């Protein structure tokens, strides 16, 4: 069998395995534009944007489940409009769930989040979810007219409004950080009447774990830069509070983990090839050695078996969980190398992890959330609700205005009605 036929067979096996486990595996990108330390070349924004699409399509072909991308509004990052790129990717893939690595709940208007991600949900047929977070760029707050000192209260209040916009057809709202809403209906309504699934991402804040537990949402520990004990505390808190709020036992909570790997068939080749990227990357360089960093964090540089062993052990550390994402395209790595990493994940690593993490998985542990499964949970075998304008909807024009019970004067809807002299 030639190499091409062998790879095709491996891909088919990976795609078949995708439906046999309760876990989702995928890749995530922080969308950095970083100089390649080997060639000295820095890709253009256009090259990196196109590369992200290529990566996602390749991940779908390789049998992975998820592609996630962050939200940033500053150089050297390109992903300022996640819904645009994710919709473009979803249109060119068959099975891939598209997600955000972070949606900035603090600086985005919850009304716009509700509209944009419900639209993405419709366009993808439900193959999407999103991760709420505060991001890691302090200056983004004043860029969008917000105060970083209010970061946590903004996250709490804005998500409360977003949740209501998705779960209530007509919303009356008054809070601290935005103008009130009266009789407001967010459009489009969520597909099948089921709001997009939300993960709450955090690397340090227990209040976010509490928020995820309160709403019965997922908690994503971006398990990249800190020792495992740090994330253990957050995940344990989330599980305990999940049970406290009546969603089930702690083991039924929905947990996701980040991760990093650089893989080559031979471990020493992986170490030698990745070292210059590690040593020069802005997020790593001039800090701990690569050996120290891999000892302290989940970064694994080595053979497929070493990555399998490292990530199979995550269940021992954090309990059974639902989603594992790998960062593979950072630090200036060229696209060719990134695609090779995806191949190795899809062909040699993830199929084994699926089997190992499915083994002895208690029946009480829920599968990773999908739109189709959540629709079945609500409607069984019956038809799902499809929203249409009607008596149960606000009109967003007259609600709360002096003309609420009377026809609006010409032009009033657009603020064009003139005052009488």
Tell me which H or E stretch contains 97: strand 97-100
Cβ-count burial 132-158 (b if 16+ within 10 Å, e if not)? bbbbebeebbeeeebeeeebeebbbbb
Strands (E), 189-343: 198-202, 218-221, 255-257, 261-263, 300-302, 323-327
**Residues 345/64, Cβ–Cβ less than 8 Å:** yes
Q: What is the pLDDT of residue 21?
A: 54
User: Which of 121, 128, 175 lies closest to 369 in space, CA to CA?
Assistant: 128
Q: Which residues of the chain, if any, have pLDDT below 70?
A: 1-21, 135-138, 141, 144, 285, 391-394, 398-421
Give pLDDT, residue 139: 79
DSSP codes, 176-231: SSS--EEEE--SSPPGGG-PPPEEEEESS-HHHHHHHHHHT-EEEE-TTSS-HHHH
Angle ∠(264,316,136) on CA atoms, nearest 5: 70
Write the CA distances from 199 to 32, 196, 232, 286, 360, integer angstroms. 22, 10, 17, 33, 26
In order of their start, the domains of the chain are 3-387 (3.20.20.30)
Query: Tokens standing for 324?
Result: 């594992």
User: According to the model, what pLDDT value does residue 80 have?
Assistant: 87
What distance in Å separates the CA atoms of residue 107 and residue 117, rounded to the nearest whole number? 16
pLDDT of residue 17: 53
Q: Which of 305, 275, 302 lies closest to 290 in space, CA to CA?
A: 275
């Amino acid at each position: 069998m030639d190499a091409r036929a062998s790879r095709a067979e491996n891909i088919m096996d990976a795609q078949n395995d995708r439906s046999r486990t309760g876990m989702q595996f995928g890749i995530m990108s922080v969308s950095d534009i970083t100089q390649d330390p080997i060639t000295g070349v820095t890709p253009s924004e256009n090259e990196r944007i196109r590369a992200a699409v290529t990566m996602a399509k390749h991940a779908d072909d390789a049998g992975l489940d998820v592609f996630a991308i962050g939200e940033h509004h500053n150089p050297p990052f390109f992903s300022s409009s996640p819904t645009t790129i994710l919709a473009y990717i979803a249109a060119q893939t068959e099975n891939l769930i598209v997600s955000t690595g972070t949606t900035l709940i603090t600086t985005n208007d919850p009304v716009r989040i509700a509209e944009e991600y419900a639209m993405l949900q419709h366009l993808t047929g439900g193959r999407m979810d999103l991760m709420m977070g505060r991001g890691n760029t302090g200056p983004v707050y004043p860029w969008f007219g917000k105060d970083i000192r209010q970061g946590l209260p903004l996250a709490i209040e804005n998500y409360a409004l977003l949740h209501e916009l998705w779960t209530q057809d007509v919303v009356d709202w008054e809070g601290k950080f935005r103008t009130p809403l009266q009789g407001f209906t967010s459009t489009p309504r969520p597909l099948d009447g089921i709001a997009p699934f939300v993960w709450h991402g955090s690397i340090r804040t227990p209040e976010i774990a509490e928020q995820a537990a309160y709403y019965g949402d997922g908690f994503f520990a971006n398990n990249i830069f800190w020792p495992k004990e740090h994330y253990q505390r957050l995940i344990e808190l989330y599980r305990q509070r999940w049970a406290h709020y009546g969603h089930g036992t702690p083991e039924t909570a929905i947990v996701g983990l980040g991760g990093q790997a650089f893989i080559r068939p031979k471990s020493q080749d992986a170490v030698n090839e990745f070292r210059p990227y590690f040593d020069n990357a802005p997020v790593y360089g001039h800090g701990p050695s690569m050996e120290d960093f891999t000892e302290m964090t989940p970064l694994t540089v080595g053979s497929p078996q070493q990555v399998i062993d490292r990530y199979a052990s995550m269940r021992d550390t954090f309990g059974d969980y639902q989603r594992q994402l790998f960062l593979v395209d950072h630090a200036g790595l060229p696209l060719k190398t990134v695609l090779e990493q995806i191949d190795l994940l899809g062909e040699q690593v993830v199929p084994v992890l699926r089997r190992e993490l499915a083994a002895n998985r208690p029946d009480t542990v829920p599968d990773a959330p999908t739109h189709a499964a959540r629709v079945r949970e609500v409607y069984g075998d019956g038809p799902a609700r499809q929203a249409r304008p009607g008596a149960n909807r606000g009109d967003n024009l007259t609600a709360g205005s002096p003309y609420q019970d009377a026809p609006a004067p010409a032009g009033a809807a657009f603020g064009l009605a003139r005052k009488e002299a």
